[in-house]
Structure 1
Amino acid sequence: MRGKHRVIVSTKRLKYDFELRRNLTIIRGDSATGKTTLVDMIQEYVNNPTGSPVDLTCDKKCYVLEGALWKGQLAEITDSIVFIDEGNDFIKTEEFAREIQKTDNYYVIVTRESLPTLPYSVEEIYGIRTSGKYGTLKQSYHEFYRIYGTLTREKDIKPELVITEDSNSGYQFFDCVCRENHLRCETMNGKSNVFHYLRDHKNEKILVIADGAAFGSEIDRVLRLIEGYENVVLYLPESFEWLILSAGILKNNHVLEILDAPYDYVESEAFFSWERFFTAVLIDETKDTYLAYMKKRLNPAYLQDVIKETILEKIEKISLTWKK
């Protein structure tokens, strides 16, 4: 499945109206915010579509996955939107991550806990709030709102230390830039290590660079840790490959079309996260050229002054050319 899909679920009293654009969407929030009610309404419609007081409108079929038999249920679901309420512990398992990676569905997961086995985006973590939009009809209208918005400060950032979540081409690029400008750069060798490093280095001016497309499971605890810190800033592009594509180096109209609406191009069965998709696009669009991209080892062409500066200019409000 790919594309954006609007879901409208309603009764005479309640209405949910939201749009999904990735294979993984997380709904968070405290009790009594309407999360479980949403899933219950969808389940009621699925169980009795003609006799239920619930109306459901969507261009894809919707299902609720639950209980000990989830794996068997999942095997029967294709090209659909699957809702999972909190309390289903299987969502935390490696087995669940493996199984849904093989499917062409979109998944909406209600959970107050982080799910480190799943590569979900910081941009696809939502809460539910009630609007008075339908107050005159005595209908409570529930809308999704993005929990994590812009994560960098308004003022320009000049770090002393840059940390990246992995050791691949992204780290190699920023490590080179930092060495040229007498800054330190360290790799965390995994997104879960970012939290532990920040906890132990509270007094340094740190820029964290991580793939926003898959950093969703870490964002809450990292933000809680650095709350009030003036010396730690997060920069979360979709991925390093997205950053290169967005910098306009390739002069490619097809790439621009993809960047404008990635959801229309990302097949959920082929790409478990948008980070993987942008990597595939960059490799494909640069093959057999001097910019041929490799994930594990950075092509030195990306360190040429003009190309390097073009990539860095894409990173707004952050300067890595400051020297002590």
Structure 2
Amino acid sequence: MQIKLTVSRNLTILQGKSATGKTTLLELIAAYDELGANSGVVINCDVPCKILAGRNWLRDLSFIENSIVFIDEDSSFMKSHEFAHAARRSSNYYVLVARESLPQLPYSVDEIYGLKNTNRSTTKYPVYSRTYASTYRIYGKSEFDGAKPQVVIVEDSNSGYEFFAVLCKNSGIPCISAGGKSNIYDIALNRKERDILVIADGAAFGPEMEFLVSLQRFKRIKLFLPESFEWLVLKSGLFPDKRTQEMLRSPASYIESADFFSWEQFFTHELIEKTRGTFLTYSKSRLNESYLAKHTRGAIEKGLPNLGILPQTEQ
């Protein structure tokens, strides 16, 4: 059996149906960790792969550095704030097998995977068969057709909200600050409007996806989930320098997991440092009015999909 898995962020979530290889993956890694080559398992990875389990998990984790740590859903500690705190302070990457959301962890909507069997054998009863299991994203990208939403809900109450609130005001669309990602579901559920656009930081929005997607059975909810507002600004073309462009093409090559547990934190740090002492000096808590000037705002708007929140003359 061969399983391929790409890990690019601190937190990767494995979900999906039974009998797709999740448990087998962890068993193979555990066998290799215990017996090495004698296990008959071959692991091709740039860093060590470890299994974390049992009641002594915190002690065991203290001895693991610069590794990919795999944890099964049967490990109840994975859902604790103690684990979240310990993971934040480590230099490791984590692959978590979890069917339920983990709200204490800021994992990306793009890093929630299922395992799928890609065996293409046409033999009905194969005696020897190699199973190739690869990953697929549970939540795909939203498509936007420019339809005007009845209301816009923005995750935070800071600079990102201030920017989108101006765009919505110019288009006559109510714009609401959720005051945090965990509040979005309740706000959307209790609004009388059916056509709702949710704007949130995709880099840490993974735990909320299951709830928001369930609402789509009753309401027409569109999800715009860029990495973060700061990421939108950095990719707007306002910063054409070579390093910024290379960083945006390959963030994982620039982000040190021990320093930034979420990519949103990294992009915020980058924008603050890049604009320090300039007319675009950035603060997450309050939006610099320079970002609402025609040229600057226009550059950011060009990077947006057709969300339906710009005046018709700007769509």
Deviates more, 1:123-132 or 1:52-61: 52-61
Give the SS at the match of 1:56: coil
- Note the 1:133-212 alignment, pairs <5 A: 133=120, 138-153=129-144, 155-201=145-191, 203-212=193-202
Deviates more, 1:201-210 or 1:103-112: 201-210
Matched pairs, number: 308
Give the SS at the match of 1:227: coil
The alpha-carbon deviation at position 220 of structure 1 amounts to 1.4
Q: Do the aligned partners of residues 268 and 315 (structure 1) sit closer, same or farther apart at CA in structure 2, a change above 3 Å counting?
A: same
Q: Do the aligned partners of residues 47 and 254 (structure 1) sit closer, same or farther apart at CA in structure 2, a change above 3 Å counting?
A: same
Match of 1:10?
none
- Note the 1:1-324 alignment, pairs <5 A: 14-133=1-120, 138-153=129-144, 155-201=145-191, 203-227=193-217, 229-230=219-220, 232-322=221-311
> In 1, Cα distance between the equivalents of 2:262 and 2:155?
16
Residue type at the aligned position of 1:150 = K
Equivalent residues of 2:13, 2:113 under 8 A apart: yes
* CA RMSD, 1 decimal: 1.6
Equivalent residues of 2:52, 2:70 under 8 A apart: yes
Give the SS at the match of 1:301: helix
Percent identity, aligned pairs only? 44
> In 1, Cα distance between the equivalents of 2:19 and 2:218?
29
Residue type at the aligned position of 1:199 = L
Equivalent residues of 2:151, 2:197 under 8 A apart: yes
Residue type at the aligned position of 1:145 = Y
> In 1, Cα distance between the equivalents of 2:143 and 2:266?
25
The alpha-carbon deviation at position 202 of structure 1 amounts to 5.0
Equivalent residues of 1:158, 1:322 under 8 A apart: no
> In 2, Cα distance between the equivalents of 1:134 and 1:48?
31
The alpha-carbon deviation at position 141 of structure 1 amounts to 0.8
> In 2, Cα distance between the equivalents of 1:127 and 1:182?
40
TM (norm. structure 2) is 0.94
The alpha-carbon deviation at position 309 of structure 1 amounts to 1.9
> In 2, Cα distance between the equivalents of 1:314 and 1:275?
18
1:61-98 Cα shifts (integer Å, max 9, x gaps): 01000011100010000000100011111111111110
1:215-266 Cα shifts (integer Å, max 9, x gaps): 0000111111113633x21100000000011111123221111000000001
Match of 1:11?
none
> In 2, Cα distance between the equivalents of 1:69 and 1:178?
51
Q: Which has the higher strand share?
A: 1
> In 1, Cα distance between the equivalents of 2:6 and 2:173?
42
The alpha-carbon deviation at position 133 of structure 1 amounts to 4.8
Deviates more, 1:309-318 or 1:133-142: 133-142
Equivalent residues of 1:208, 1:233 under 8 A apart: yes
Give the SS at the match of 2:30: helix
Deviates more, 1:127-136 or 1:307-316: 127-136
> In 2, Cα distance between the equivalents of 1:270 and 1:22?
12
Structure 2 gaps of 5+ residues are none
Residue type at the aligned position of 1:142 = A
